[in-house]
Structure 1
Amino acid sequence: MNYVITSGWWCSNENTQDRTELIGDDAIRNQDFHRVWHQCIRETNSKANIYIVDSASPVKPLLNEGEKIISFEKNFGHSTRCDYKLSGVTRAHIMGMTLALLNEYEYWVYIEQDALIQGEQFIERCISSMNSPMAFGDGQGTPYPAQQSFMIIKTSYIETFLHRLLKIKASDKDIAPELKFCIASSKILSLIPEFIYKFIDRRGALNKAVRIIIYGAIKLLRGFDYIPFGHGRSRPIDFSHPHFYFQHGSAPELDIFLSQKNHSNETK
């Protein structure tokens, strides 16, 4: 099982409001958190190479063994505020997929910079559970049908996926990256006119009705599996489960996770 891990990166010592809302404790956005992120990956028995795709951040990650960094020339912004068709995170996804494709890895694995994974052979177990060429996080409890903090795509399917993704004309601000990935996962979903998907982030009775219909269509026609473990941004987190992942950790959640991890290391 041959795969590469990629992630995005943005870090600033200044309290910049580059998105509409900051979620989780401030610790997940600083340079020191990268050490915890990397440690969690290596403790799952993963020896894969790791590429960090940096959005021209003023503060770079302190790289660990087996990590490499690629930097964009400018910061293209968070999806909720970007002035371009593609936000920084989508560009990081595309760059990661391209690296996997050109280096002929069997799978591309994406782990967001603030997402922590837990459990022996976490990535391998997720790959082994796949019946589709892609696996995204379950969007239950979040605004969209899928989550992107942990994703897997079989490299042989990347060209098809990117072709559909880049055909979407709307900006990430108008159709969220999570929704774009759902659309690009399916040939049929890609044929639905884009303006219909734009109803999802709007308010009103009609928009709510369209949203329910679109979500139902995505559930039925999606071309991806769900990651077999929780939770991403979904809450609550079951810290007792042997395998889980989570993003946007709050201070109490991080305290529980790190205390549990330290206790586990002490008893080994």
Structure 2
Amino acid sequence: MKYALAVLPLMAILMVGSGFAFAESYEIKIPSGASDENFPYFWSQKDTGETSGIITIFPGDTITWSNADTAFHTITSINPTGERTPTPDDENGLFDSGFFTAGKSFTHQFDELGDFYYYCTLHPWMNGVVHVVLDPGSVKSIDGIASGYTDDGLGFEVKYFLDAHLAPAVHVNPDEKTLTFTLTGESNNEHLTITLPKELIDNPTSVWVDGNMVEFESDSTISGNTATQLVIPLDNTSREVKIMGSKVIPEFGGIALLVLTISIISVIIFSKKTSLIALR
């Protein structure tokens, strides 16, 4: 058993996931025949087909091991040397499914960072490891910002890099010349990197995080000088980011202004016609 674990590959399949606020669930199937030591593989990840029993996830994610074999199996945590951990389901995140039969499953949520080795106590050649790593973040986007203020009604797309998510509802205040973004969960990143179209907000001059003004980095040459990229400091308690510019998209777009003008002219013409009829 110790030898089997020692030769486990160190590589892992990086699966798309998220932090606590957007935890993912993964399934590893125990295939029919896994109880035979000579079977070609003992695990099968539902999403990727990976058969090593090795998986990389983020804190808060859950894994479900489902038994598609005809034999009993267990999912039992062990230390890297292959020795069984003495206290399953303790505060250190160790686990033991106990025996579960064909068609049954065992689910465990991983909240702590680290490498969690496991095996089947009945079939010790069946072993694997769960790597729980810090989510480095990914590029995400919000579509349709200020859609009510644009002529086409589509609004603007804002891209950002963060391990958490920004709420899709962004408060646009043309009078204050501000955009306000809300974090929907806790972030472990130290910065929010966000790219803002200049047609949406031009020349960002001030940034507040949870009501406190902060220093930030700015690059106005993004996307052929059509966008500004800001790097804004955060901590894991940050929830609101307000950005002020020299101009935020006006309340009325060109078409809306044209419609308003036509409406005013129509009212004036109608009023004049009414006056002429009254004089007759």
Q: Between the two structures, name the one with larger relative contact order (CA 8 Å, sep ≥ 6).
A: 1
TM above 0.5, yes or no, is no
Point out the structure with the larger helix share. 1
Higher strand share: 2
Q: Give TM-score, length-normalised by structure 1.
A: 0.20
TM-score by length of 2: 0.20
